[in-house]
Chain A
Amino acid sequence: MNPKTKHIIVIFICSTIILSLVVGSLIFNVVFNGEIPQTRVLNDDSGNLIAIAPFPPSFQFPMGTDRDGNDMFYVILKGAMYTIGVSLIISCLSFALAFVFGIIGAFTKSKSKYITQTLFTSFYFIPQSIIAYNLLFPFLWEPPGGYTTTLTERIVLQIVVLSILTLPTTAILISNEAVQLLQKEYITSAKVLGASRFFILRKHLLPHLKLRLFIIYPKIIIQVLLILAHLGFFNLFLGGTAVDHEYGGSPAPYVNEWAGFMGTNYLELYNKAWIFLGPMFFFALTILLLNGLSKGIENLLETQLDPQIIHKKQNIKSKTIIGVSNIKKDDFSLVKSS
């Protein structure tokens, strides 16, 4: 198969599965009102009680049920929209801002740029999920008297905070990519010919950078997904954590999404493992698909940018190894004399 078609197929499969997860979740939430089928007890034909929830994965419940008898498959389906959707929004915001700052950073060469970049390097040494936890805790953890903010406010604030948090590292990444491209010879020649910065950006930088950005973007989504999941494990959920101050029950999420579900059910790992592993599996799958997407785009670009690569690969195959005869009979054909 042509390597190019192979990469396109990979990209197509990865994006289709992610999209169908989100769209499926959207349909389930909007058309079916997100009602999860619940089975608390199972009876046999004569009406005798044979089992109570949680049920392990079986033919009837492909992914089992949780302790309240909610079918895990629908729980996961319901959550997909929120988790993937929110991380898409956050990464989009952060990416757009990082693009602006990164490009500005790439074009400036002053000492102040060096200073800002080194200052922001500190973000590499403090894990972002910890900063996010500390920043968001007073806002998301329900105070004893109940919230003074609405759910939407909290979600919006969380989105803004997380996009600002992922901004510095993304900006540094984009800036480095741009700087690499700006060092190419054709940029220097364009400068010599008198091109303005804006012209270089539009005509010479963007066409190449655009392709590289497609590789970076899925990685930013992954980063955001991981921060959300970590926050979930630290009991800070999307849109706030419901805390039972009176009776001291375990913290619960307001929004039915994956990170919150995984965080609250982590201890199930030791007894009813499927309750935790189901969402975990889908979460990992999403990240794998995003990685596959990024890798697929990268490979595609490599074949596109370098048409010789196909040629080169064929060359490597036909390399002769010393001592081994690679000569085939087909290599010799009779040349007709004219």
Chain B
Amino acid sequence: MKQTFFTRTFFEISLIIAGIMLVSAAIPLFQLNDISLLNYGKTVWGIAKELATPHDLIYINPLSGEERNLFPIIFEAYFNSMKIFFLALIISLFISVFLLVLYFSVSERIKKSIEGIGYVISSLPDIFIIGIFQIFIVWFFKRTGILILDVAATMGNPIVLLPAITLSVLPTFFFFILMVTILKEEEEMSYVELAKSKGLRKYRILFMHMMRNVLISLTNHGKHIMWLMLSNLLMLEYLYNVFGVTPFLFSYGEPSIFAVTSIFIFLPFFMLLKILEFTFERRIGSDMNL
């Protein structure tokens, strides 16, 4: 069974959307008095019908009880979230590469300790890092009177930078540890030896030759990183009071709103993964399935 890349991607997207709908339909399960397969089926059907006419969806604010059409309002929230997410992703990629350069220019003993520290930080829980960041900024403000960044969003003053920086901490070290592990394996490959024997400089080998292979392995972990960052993002939005997609996901009463929001979250990430996969397949010819 040989499918082209695009039909396969299309098939996968529709399957995952179906999966999201099935999950969303399970949400009001405990509110119903009798849990039966028939009711579940009815909810799935209801969601499918409501998704077919998305502009009629109504979102009720759980705090104020205000009713609004879902559609213009969700975009604003959605772009806020995406800004934070992709800014964090870019920051973490840059810093982890920077750390990598640093790592390769120090002695063996310092390397060991950098690795250890990186491992410890990358395995800290997300809420711990959010807490530490907030307490640090407040402490700094109390000491010096300089507010580095706003710690909480208020009306008309959305914050992007601090959440993005906080969100980038875990993936930075995750990337870093991953890259170090992959590079260690890569270093023993014969093409690196050849490049060394030809007298190429260390960083040239690192960035021109080894980095390409590292990127492939990194993308293989893409789904995992997205997963990690996503749950982290929602926690952040909740604790920093950012107007993002999180409030739409708390709408336990309306499974169709949950479904719409989840589909919105899922699409760009999946597209990104697929584009990466496609580029690698084209340029390097490696076969991967993310």
**A residues engaging B (CB < 8 A)?**
111, 115, 118-131, 133-139, 169, 225-226, 229-230, 233-234, 262, 266, 269-270, 273, 276-277, 280, 283-284, 287-288, 291, 295
Contact = CB atoms under 8 A, between A and B. Distances in A.
Nearest to A226: B125
B127 A230 contact: yes
Given A124-B227, A126-B20, A233-B238, 8 more contacts: A126-B266, A129-B235, A134-B250, A138-B31, A233-B127, A233-B239, A280-B127, A288-B123
29 contacts: A115-B15, A119-B16, A122-B17, A122-B19, A122-B20, A122-B266, A124-B223, A126-B266, A129-B235, A130-B234, A130-B249, A134-B27, A134-B249, A134-B250, A134-B258, A135-B27, A226-B125, A226-B126, A229-B127, A230-B127, A230-B231, A269-B138, A277-B135, A280-B127, A280-B128, A283-B128, A284-B125, A284-B128, A287-B123
B218 interface: no
**Interface footprint category on B:** 35 or more
A131 B23 contact: yes
Contacts of B23: 122-123, 126, 131
Nearest to A172: B223
A273 B127 contact: no
Interface in B252-271: 252, 258, 262, 265-266, 269-270
Contact of B16 (A121, A135, A137, A270): A121
B125 A138 contact: no
Contacts of A115: 15
B6 interface: no
B121 to A, nearest CB: 10
Interface of B: 1, 11-12, 15-20, 22-23, 26-27, 29-31, 119-120, 123-128, 131, 134-135, 138, 223, 226-227, 230-231, 234-235, 238-239, 246, 249-252, 258, 262, 265-266, 269-270
B238 A234 contact: yes
A111 B31 CA distance: 35
Contacts of A126: 20, 23, 249, 262, 265-266
Contact of A284 (B12, B124, B262): B124
Most buried by B among A121, A126, A169, A266: A126
B125 A133 contact: no
A126 B22 CA distance: 12
Contacts of B138: 269-270
Given A118-B12, A124-B227, A284-B128, A138 B19 contact: no
Contacts of B223: 121, 124
A119 B270 contact: no
Given A119-B18, A135-B26, A125 B131 contact: no
Contacts of B17: 122
Contacts of B11: 118
Contacts of B16: 118-119, 121-122, 125
Most buried by B among A118, A139, A262: A118
A261 B171 CA distance: 27
Contacts of A229: 125, 127
Nearest to B258: A134
A169 B120 CA distance: 24
Nearest to A129: B231
Contact of A277 (B12, B131, B239): B131
A133 B269 contact: no
Contacts of B27: 131, 134-135
Nearest to A169: B227
A269 B139 CA distance: 10
Contacts of B1: 111
Contacts of A131: 23, 27
A125 B252 contact: no
Nearest to B127: A229
A273 to B, nearest CB: 6
B231 A118 contact: no
10 closest A-B pairs by beta carbon, nearest first, are: A122-B19, A127-B231, A291-B123, A125-B266, A119-B19, A134-B252, A118-B15, A284-B128, A134-B27, A122-B20
A261 to B, nearest CB: 13
A127 B252 contact: no
Contacts of B226: 124-125
B265 A125 contact: yes
A125 B126 contact: no
A118 B249 contact: no
Nearest to B16: A122
Given A119-B18, A287-B125, A269 B231 contact: no
Contacts of A277: 131, 135
A163 B119 CA distance: 27
B13 to A, nearest CB: 9
Contacts of B231: 127-130, 226, 230
B124 A119 contact: no
B184 to A, nearest CB: 10
A120 B250 contact: no
Contacts of B128: 280, 283-284
Given A121-B16, A134-B258, A230 B235 contact: yes
A112 to B, nearest CB: 12
A118 B119 contact: no
A154 to B, nearest CB: 11
Contacts of B234: 127, 129-130
A135 B29 contact: yes
Contacts of A134: 27, 249-252, 258
Contacts of B252: 133-134, 137-138
Contacts of A273: 135
A283 B129 CA distance: 12
